[in-house]
A = this chain, B = another copy of it.
Amino acid sequence: MNSIPSKYVYVFGASRTEGAADMKNLLGGKGANLAEMCRLGITVPAGFTISTEACTAYTELGREAVQERLQTEVRAGIAFIEQEMDKRFGDAADPMLLSVRSGARASMPGMMDTILNLGLNDEAVLGLARQANNERFAWDSYRRFVQGYGDVVMGLKPVSKEEHDPFEVIIDVLKEQRGVQLDTELDSDDLKELVQRFKALIRARLGCDFPTDPWEQLWGAVWAVFDSWNGDRARAYRELNDIPQSWGTAVNVQAMVFGNLGETSATGVAFSRDAGTGEDLFNGEFLVNAQGEDVVAGIRTPQQISLVGSRRWAELALVSEEERLGKYPSLEELMPEIYAQLLHAETTLEKHFKDMQDIEFTIQAGKLWMLQTRTGKRTGAAMVRIAMEMLQQGMIDEKIALLRVSPDRLNELLHPVFDPKALTAAEPIARGLPASPGAATGQIVFFADEAEAWSRQGKAVILVRQETSPEDLRGMSAARGILTARGGMTSHAAVVARGMGKCCVSGAGAVHVDLKARTMTVMDAAYHEGDWISLDGSTGEVFAGQIPTVDAQLSGDFGALMALADRYKRLEVRANADTPQEAGIARALGATGIGLCRTEHMFFEGERIVAVREMILADDEAGRRRALAKLLPMQRGDFEGLFREMDGLPVTIRLLDPPLHEFVPHDEASQRVMAQDMRVPLSKIRMRVEELHEFNPMMGHRGCRLGISYPEITEMQVRAVFEAGLNIQAQGVVVKAEIMVPLVGTVREFDAQAEVIRRVAAMVFAERGETLPYLLGTMIETPRATLIAEHLAKQADFFSFGTNDLTQMTLGFSRDDAGKFFPDYRKQGIYERDPFRTIDQEGVGMLVQMAVENGRAARPDLEIGVCGEHGGDPVSVAFFHRAGLDYVSCSPYRVPIARLAAAQAAVQG
């Protein structure tokens, strides 16, 4: 809010319209589209929109600051509606009634519900009855208005969780007294009685009368919309959906039309294409003689709009054609003329907006009024199909087709989801972070080895842990899904699960795991080993019991979309993959290289961990070398597999990164086992584990610091790389190795490791009499590395931003600990996005940009990529595109998402 805007109120109607579709920021989505429909000549009840700027001024400066200007403009707006509709607001004899609706830029549940029939009072209801020649209709409208306004505007809510909606209680009591079952069985006197009782309730509970002045009613509704923008539910929704608190909402005030004036009236919703599958089929639902809310309420079975849709519905609902035609005819059959108008409007709108439309309409006494049009929500699969079909139909061009698909929604195509029918009934028992997408259902196990064992017996299991560690890898692999009580979006469980494409919910704080008792407790409910639970890794929800899942299927449209994306994107997309299996998935999903192979993940399998621990326990370099010699052939084998799988594509290998204490057990029982296995005294293991203890392991003895202390580790690892490369190259495979030094902070650190790597390379090449081209680069993950990028670029062939660690260090946030305070931060709007999911452009992004600029200044052909979790986040991918990176690397299942995001970034320039 830099200056006072010139106006707050924008009218729309048949004769004059001030708004338009491109004014969404100012008028909200609903308001802008109502105006656009008027411009297209579609019949819409006249109205006006109070702009979002008024809401922002109201929030920031208070009601007084906007009231005066707004009153003048609103009065003019009402006068406009009166003229258009040829009725008078507050005219008791023939009242013009209004609807008041909120309408933000983005569709947003949690905002104020619609207020209908505003303008009614004890006198006007009589006028309405006379005009409509329908007393029951008038009193029902009044009843609905008092109930809605009392709840939404006046705030008469249940006083406790136990209490039912008090208005509904009053209705139930009256129905009991009248001996009827349905609201529709109440007659106009009953409705009149209800209005009286509602008003009495309001007076008793709120200590004030229900407002009878239509203007007072209107202002109450307007302020309530503004207040609802700042309500808890709306705030919570915005946090979840990354909507800035500063946008504000618009208010739409519009003349009422009625779908409940008799058998020639109706109300309904329609979609220009199928929201579930994307099929190009116009259909929807309607109810004769009903108001909009009745369609949603689900008391009467709605009818289908198109004949094709109606027949399909009957087939699914096991309704005979006879019964269908008799009881549930389509609008196409029932009111063919109206249907034709609707179809025309739909076609006009879809062509105009060039996207699938979700339309609300009312038929009042045989006249069609359009109440709303908006871009239709759809499933990920529908999103892809609609985009590709509209492209084929010539409705949109390639760029728009690309922009039409939300990259994140591709997840739905890549992972299993819960069967939607089964899900509606389920209530989550807990909520964690949506750490790795997909749905899974299985029996609880608490130990990784049992996950393996049960899985071998053919059972579906969910591994439930306080947190996971690398030792749990095989158990995680065997489980259908993983649930942890601790840890964030980039905790071990989350990162590994995403790599495996396996569903994971992490950091579910309400879950208490008791390993001894083999139970998990949520609130007061205990779940035992073997109990069924279900996880939704895309939402973070945890459900009790078994919920069936539906497998992913990649459609032909998906492939076409990906091919299109690849033609537009400038960024390459590599994958983070540690095994040939993961590499294979990544390649199948379109990765053009491995951007991060975490060599330590190879250290845990079977006998390897024994050799690793031998190395850690060794008293001197000679002892370490003996242990490393055992690891060499295994690691070489791993790299051979990767190189073979990635034939012709680059494979970026990061040297050992985690602190050594991650490889030793910390509990006494496991230490005893280790002591026995390795035939060393327990005390020695204890002492070494104690020595390895770190206060802040994230900033401890890890990354290249290990290689500096123990160059023999680096020697073994790069020897494995070069020997594997030569072996595979000899088989005719094109090997492109890129070796990456982690956690570099100074040029000398890089130089020291580079010297070792080049020396080993020269040795191996001399031994074999052959060479292997390779790149030697550095991770950029400490803030200091970004500051000395110019000097590093002179030494390193490439940069790879490790944005996870860079974010942690720049923000001073431990991602594993942030769960304790970050919810407070989101609630208070301190961070609008999770900086571990979407890169913090203002802080971390500034360092990235500095490093890119200074690095390229020193070496124009420097290859620059990113291998943090952000590489798979669409908003971050767009940033990396703008920052001029060469590639992003992400977990295999996010590769398609990154490809599409990269294409969108290129299209958006």
Residues of A participating in the B interface, judged by any CB pair closer than 8 Å: 694-701, 703, 705, 708-709, 743, 745-746, 748-749, 752, 781-784, 787-788, 805, 808-814, 816-818, 820-821, 824-825, 828-831, 840, 842-844, 846-847
Is A787 a contact of B695 with CB atoms below 8 Å?
Answer: no
Is A830 a contact of B752 with CB atoms below 8 Å?
Answer: yes
Please give me the residue from chain B that is nearest to A784 by CB atom: B843
Q: Which residues of chain B have C-beta atoms less than 8 A from A745's C-beta?
A: 811-813, 843
Q: Which residues of chain B have C-beta atoms less than 8 A from A844's C-beta?
A: 784
Is A784 a contact of B810 with CB atoms below 8 Å?
Answer: yes
Known: A705-B821, A749-B830, A842-B787. A698 touches B695 (CB 8 A): yes
- Give the contacting residue for A821; candidates B709, B783, B816, B825; CB below 8 A: B709
Please give me the residue from chain B that is nearest to A690 by CB atom: B466
Complex CA gap A234/B212 in Å reads 95
Is B814 a contact of A783 with CB atoms below 8 Å?
Answer: no
Is A787 a contact of B749 with CB atoms below 8 Å?
Answer: no
Please give me the residue from chain B that is nearest to A820 by CB atom: B701
Complex CA gap A544/B831 in Å reads 55
Is A699 a contact of B700 with CB atoms below 8 Å?
Answer: no
Is B783 a contact of A810 with CB atoms below 8 Å?
Answer: yes
- Give the contacting residue for A810; candidates B701, B809, B814; CB below 8 A: B809
Known: A709-B824, A830-B708. A813 touches B699 (CB 8 A): yes
Q: Which residues of chain B have C-beta atoms less than 8 A from A746's C-beta?
A: 830-831
Complex CA gap A842/B792 in Å reads 13
Shortest Cβ gap from A805 to chain B (Å) = 7
Complex CA gap A700/B695 in Å reads 12
A-B residue pairs in contact (CB < 8 Å), sample of 10 = A694-B816, A699-B812, A709-B820, A709-B821, A745-B811, A749-B830, A781-B812, A783-B811, A783-B843, A784-B810
Q: Which residues of chain B have C-beta atoms less than 8 A from A824's C-beta?
A: 708-709
Is A700 a contact of B814 with CB atoms below 8 Å?
Answer: yes
Is B811 a contact of A847 with CB atoms below 8 Å?
Answer: no
Copies in the complex: 2
Is B814 a contact of A699 with CB atoms below 8 Å?
Answer: yes
Is B748 a contact of A817 with CB atoms below 8 Å?
Answer: no
Complex CA gap A516/B809 in Å reads 38
A-B complex: 10 closest residue pairs judged by Cβ atoms: A696-B814, A784-B843, A699-B814, A700-B817, A782-B812, A695-B816, A783-B783, A701-B820, A748-B830, A696-B698
- Give the contacting residue for A846; candidates B743, B787, B810, B840; CB below 8 A: B787
Q: Which residues of chain B have C-beta atoms less than 8 A from A782's C-beta?
A: 810-812
Shortest Cβ gap from A714 to chain B (Å) = 13
- Give the contacting residue for A847; candidates B787, B805, B830; CB below 8 A: B787
Complex CA gap A817/B700 in Å reads 5
Is A812 a contact of B830 with CB atoms below 8 Å?
Answer: no
Shortest Cβ gap from A549 to chain B (Å) = 33
Q: Which residues of chain B have C-beta atoms less than 8 A from A709's C-beta?
A: 820-821, 824
Is B700 a contact of A697 with CB atoms below 8 Å?
Answer: no
Complex CA gap A749/B696 in Å reads 24
Shortest Cβ gap from A173 to chain B (Å) = 38
Complex CA gap A809/B784 in Å reads 9
Complex CA gap A894/B813 in Å reads 32
Complex CA gap A708/B745 in Å reads 32
Please give me the residue from chain B that is nearest to A812 by CB atom: B782
Is A817 a contact of B787 with CB atoms below 8 Å?
Answer: no
Please give me the residue from chain B that is nearest to A816 by CB atom: B695
Shortest Cβ gap from A121 to chain B (Å) = 43
Is A812 a contact of B821 with CB atoms below 8 Å?
Answer: no
Known: A746-B830, A811-B745. A696 touches B821 (CB 8 A): no
- Find the residue from A696, A752, A828, A843 having the highest chain B CB count within 10 A: A696
Is A694 a contact of B784 with CB atoms below 8 Å?
Answer: no
Complex CA gap A813/B749 in Å reads 14
- Give the contacting residue for A696; candidates B697, B830, B847; CB below 8 A: B697
Known: A695-B698, A696-B817, A821-B701. A812 touches B829 (CB 8 A): no
Complex CA gap A80/B703 in Å reads 56
Complex CA gap A37/B77 in Å reads 100
Known: A695-B816, A814-B695, A814-B699. A787 touches B843 (CB 8 A): yes
- Find the residue from A694, A695, A746, A829 having the highest chain B CB count within 10 A: A695
Shortest Cβ gap from A663 to chain B (Å) = 15
Q: Which residues of chain B have C-beta atoms less than 8 A from A818's C-beta?
A: 700
Is B695 a contact of A817 with CB atoms below 8 Å?
Answer: yes
Is A821 a contact of B695 with CB atoms below 8 Å?
Answer: no
Q: Which residues of chain B have C-beta atoms less than 8 A from A813's C-beta?
A: 699, 745
- Find the residue from A808, A813, A816 having the highest chain B CB count within 10 A: A813
Complex CA gap A705/B752 in Å reads 39
Known: A811-B782, A814-B700. A828 touches B787 (CB 8 A): no
Please give me the residue from chain B that is nearest to A467 by CB atom: B695
Shortest Cβ gap from A274 to chain B (Å) = 43
Is A812 a contact of B814 with CB atoms below 8 Å?
Answer: no
- Give the contacting residue for A788; candidates B696, B752, B781, B843; CB below 8 A: B843
Q: Which residues of chain B have C-beta atoms less than 8 A from A829's C-beta?
A: 748
Is B784 a contact of A811 with CB atoms below 8 Å?
Answer: yes
Please give me the residue from chain B that is nearest to A748 by CB atom: B830
- Give the contacting residue for A817; candidates B699, B812, B842; CB below 8 A: B699
